[in-house]
Amino acid sequence: MVCRLLGRALRKAANAADVVGRGQRTITAADTSCCSHQHSRCMSSTASSSRSVNLKSDTVTEPTPEMRQAMLTAQVGDDVYGEDPSVDKLQKTAAKMFGMEKALFVPSGTMGNLISLMVHCWERGAEVLLGDRCHILLFEQGGLSQVAGVHPREVKTFADGRLDLDDLRSKVREDDIHYPVTSLICLENTHNMFGGRVLRPDAIAEISSVAKSLHLPLHVDGARIFNAAAALDVPVSELLVGIDSVSVCLSKGLAAPVGSVIGGSEKFIHRATRVRKLLGGGLRQAGVLAAPGLIALEVMSKRLHEDHILAKRLSEGCHAMKELGLDSSPETTETNIVIFSLDKAVCGYSAAELVDALGEEDPSVADESGKRFLLFAISDTQVRAVTHYQLTLADIEAFLARLRRTLSRR
């Protein structure tokens, strides 16, 4: 029933979605055809709660009923001794999907990145080249310096998430006792702060060949790399060709309650296991977390395109409110993150003020658009909205109606 309604709503939106930019995919009947009982929305335990729609992040997703059942019945053992069969299965499955020798379950994406950096920068005095808007640099408390003793060096990042290779080459250190030793290059795919932009295989091949010529390993913060794979309709392993290590979050759009998986060579994972223990990330009966993680990889990764359809619609809806001082870029909305910008002189709101206004219920209307809509202000003029499996097209339409009404009132 829910799926039939979703299908109807999507078809309605397809008719309404008259602003479809170059290279964009129009919503088609094929997108709406469901459903096996595995359909994500059929599995949703709680859609957005009755009076709020949570667009803050895909980290707000709750485990599906199938995940909860798997947690209940998971076979477990002491994973610090490598004796948890559920963790073992998750790691083997992940390594196969990544096309890498080995994988390791870790508690979070932040720890996954930190462990990876510490393994690549095994010797003191190391420096990492990383994008100037990347998550490792901006939102991980400077863990690479604070914990790992590694020096960060920023590289200019283009709006599509690619590093500027000329800038990168110019930042590689000469062998000089005054300098740290350039030891690693980091990428982010998809790129969070650039609105979920996807790094494509050709761009990855280009930087990989530069890294090889410089004899530097390449790490990818792939917190949302399954979104990139879904957007390109390729296996995730295709985005890891020429990459030395990756950290992938299970607890974002893939909806597992906890955890990330890092992948790399056997030698890399051997060292990573040591570092994980050092950081307090060695977990005992972790199978209760690995079991939903396996569903995240095998089931939830296959439905991410549904989130991308919702994000595209949201972005189109924002773009259509230009005259109200709002804008967004549907042609660059490739995955599940939408960043829309505000012109306060026109709309009367800073990003924080708009987020506050939308975060309150609107008692003047009885319909869905009167709910609380939760979002994230990422600067004075930019708001981030993220779609995920617990949202429906009806939620997005209600959000757009509320946005239009709020902006029209000022």
Ligand X SMILES: Cc1ncc(COP(=O)(O)O)c(C=O)c1O
Give the footprint of ligand X on this chain (CB under 6 A).
Answer: 108-110, 135, 188, 192, 221, 223, 249, 251, 260
Nearer to ligand X, 76 or 115 (CB): 115
Distance CA 24, CA 259 (A): 33
Residue 168 parent element (H or E): helix 165-171
Nearer to ligand X, 135 or 313 (CB): 135
Using the CB atoms, write b or e for 72-85: b if 16+ within 10 Å. Answer: eebebbebeeeebe
For 163, phi then psi, to 5°, come to -75, 145
Nearer to ligand X, 221 or 307 (CB): 221
Shortest Cβ 290–ligand X spacing (Å): 15
Token pair of 70 as six digits? 């798997």
Shortest Cβ 140–ligand X spacing (Å): 7
Our CA angle for 112, 115, 116, nearest 5°, is 85
Nearer to ligand X, 193 or 403 (CB): 193
- Chain centroid offset of residue 19 CA: 26
Nearer to ligand X, 204 or 223 (CB): 223
Orientation angle between helical segments 393-409 and 2-16, nearest 10 degrees: 50
Shortest Cβ 249–ligand X spacing (Å): 5
Closest residue to bound ligand X by CB:
109
Shortest Cβ 6–ligand X spacing (Å): 27
CA of 243: how far to CAs of 84, 95, 188, in Å?
Answer: 28, 13, 12
Shortest Cβ 101–ligand X spacing (Å): 23
Shortest Cβ 169–ligand X spacing (Å): 24
Distance CA 222, CA 230 (A): 13
Nearer to ligand X, 221 or 397 (CB): 221
